[in-house]
Each structure stands twice: as structure tokens, then as C-alpha cells.
Copies of this chain bind each other. A is one copy, B any other.
Amino acid sequence: MNEPLPRNVTIRSIAKAAGVSKSTVSLVLKRSPLVKPATAEKVWAVVRQLGYVYNRNAASLSRGRSNIVGVIVNDLTNPFFVELLIGVERILNESGFITLMAHTAEDLTTQNNVLVSMREHNAAGIILCPAYDSSVDLTNQIADWGLPLVVVVRQLGELNYDFVGSDSYAGMYEATQYLISKGHRAIAYVGRSGRSHVSEQRRNGYLSAMNESGLEVDEEWLVDVPISAKGGQEGIQVLLRQNRRPSAVVCYNDRVAIGVLHELGKWGLRAGQDIAVIGFDDIAEAEHANPPLTTMAVNARLQGELASKLLLQRLGNPDATPDIAVIEPKLVVRATA
């Protein structure tokens, strides 16, 4: 009934049409310096003329490795991860890799499925931000699979793998210190306590700064809420209802801070005037928040770029010792503190 569909144009059809062997065509396609320029040009001409399309499945099959890099993040809804992803993509694309993106929504099962899938696709490597509660053994497991890995943002147990992240402790310390230097004494912390290395670090940074300045931390000022705008809203509500309101609030991250700003607005309060607010991450929204949010910038995009670079490095030298890149957060003063 239907036409004997025109066989796909392959490296062999090209070889035939160009009067060379398929091996030569293969060489030409990967721009090998071995082939004589004249031959190469002849082959390219045929390639263009026949509209040849390189078949990466075939290539990956025989090379035993694809040009796909898996990138796994938890929450695309958080612009921080989006920026990171963009950074990752930029560098990888430059090097001829393509990113297979997946997000886990903090679900361990999803995370596992995704990893398996990437393995099945013969990914060249993985850039992973582990979901909360990931086993500290995860990185070893991936290593055992022979998958080059770079972990970002959240460290897992020992750092015996390439890692890119920011110094949460120092960042929060500085944020708090800044508020103290502005004369604040009653400073609250809205975020999550525990569960992960990052949350611990952030809270500890805050606590240390307070302690070192001899400021007491009222139990009620450590507000434990989900890491989201909604969480921020809840957190500041709790604080505002206390009889001793804090004069400043340090937030786990910008999303939380934005929730705080939102709620303050509802109460007719103005952040930066009535109460100081400081965030963490410096996502794009921070700049355009109302009022513009003072925050600790961690340059997500740069982190993504670094992660890619570490991965490329590792691909080139699988046995090098792990590389750790930790970014120092920088205070960006805007209107809220």
C-alpha cells in the first residue's frame, strides 16, 4: 500500500555516493585531521546534498557512552534552580553535550527512577542536587555505576565527590551580622531547622552571629516553616502576633523572604521601615520585589557553570581527586534592610 519508504541516508549511503568507504565518512564527520581536506570537502558536499542526519543512538551504542548529561534538581519552581540549570546548560552545550533535565520534587522514588533512566540512556555524567533525605550512600552508588557525578548545592555525607555549593554558614552569619551592625537586637530567623546540612548551616550561621554579639535568641524567634513563600507568610504571622516583635527577620531564602514581604504588606507594614527583612540566594525576583529585597547573593548561574566545568574536567580525568567549589555569598543591600 505505502511506498517502499526511502531508506534512511546513512554513513554508508554517503560513502557510496561520495566514492569512499564508510570509515572515511565517519572520520570526516568527526572532523578528523587524518583525512585529506579534498576528500573531506567531497564528503561534506554529499552529506549536505543528501540531507544526512547523524544518528546518535548508533554512535552512543558503539561508543558505549552518549553525549547526554543528566541534570537532576528538586524544585524547578524555585528560580534558584532554574538559574543553576541555565548555567549548567550554557557550558555543557558549548562542549557539545546536551542536558537531560529532570526534577524530583524532593521525592526519593522519583529521584531513583530518574537516575536509572539516565543510566539506561548511557549518560556521560550526572549533575545532581540530592533530594532531602537521600541516603548518604547515594553518591557511592552512582560512582559504582561508573557514572561521573557532580553534586550541587546539598552535600551528602563525606565530600568524596565533586561538589559545588555555597557557604551557607558564612552567608547567614554575615546577613545577621549586618543587621546587628545596623543596630538591630531583636532578630528572628524564619526557615527550617535541621533535616539537611544546608538548613543546619544556615541556622547555625544566624545563631553564631547572635551569640558572638551577646544577643539572646528568644526561643520564639526561631520559626520553623516550609521553605516557600507560603512558609514565609506563616512565619512572619507567628512573629507579628508575639508580644515582643522582632525588629528584623533573617530568612532561609528569598522565596521565604518574598512570602514575608507579601504578608507584611497585608498588615500594612513596610519592610525596611517597620521591620527589616533579609533573604538568601538573590534570585531574579528579589530585585523586583516590593520593596526590593536585601539578600545574600550566591550566584546560582555561576554555580551551574562551575558544576558543568567540574563534570567536564572529571570526564577528561576520571581518576583525579574530587574537586570542591564553595561560593562565598555576597551581601546585596537593597531596600528591605
Interface residues of A (CB under 8 A from B): 53-58, 60-61, 66, 68, 76-77, 79, 82-83, 85-86, 89, 93, 98-103, 113, 116-117, 119-122, 229-230, 233, 258-259, 261-262, 264-266, 284-285, 287-292
Identical copies in the complex: 2
Tell which of A57, A85, A265, A266 has the most Cβ of chain B within 10 Å. A57
Partner of A57, one of B61, B86, B99, B116: B61
Q: CB distance B77 to A89 under 8 Å?
A: no
B76:A103 contact, CB within 8 angstroms:
no
Q: Quick check: A100 and B103 within 8 Å, CB to CB?
A: no
Among B61, B76, B83, point to the contact of A58 (Cβ < 8 A): B61
List residues of chain B with CB within 8 A of the CB of A61.
55, 57-58, 61
CA distance A162 to B170 in the complex (A): 51
Q: Collect the chain B residues with CB atoms within 8 Å of residue A116's CB.
A: 53
Using known A-B contacts A54-B120, A55-B61, A55-B120, determine if residue A284 contacts B103 with beta carbons closer than 8 Å: no
**A261–B284 CB distance below 8 A:** no
Sample 23 A-B pairs with CB under 8 A, ordered by A number: A53-B116, A53-B119, A54-B120, A55-B61, A55-B122, A56-B121, A57-B58, A57-B60, A57-B66, A58-B61, A68-B100, A76-B85, A77-B79, A77-B284, A82-B82, A98-B102, A100-B100, A101-B101, A229-B288, A262-B289, A264-B290, A265-B291, A289-B290
Residues of B within 8 A of A259 (CB): 288
Which residues of chain B have C-beta atoms less than 8 A from A68's C-beta?
100, 121
CB-CB nearest in chain B for A110: B93
A103 interface neighbour in B58, B89, B120, B290, Cβ under 8 Å? B89
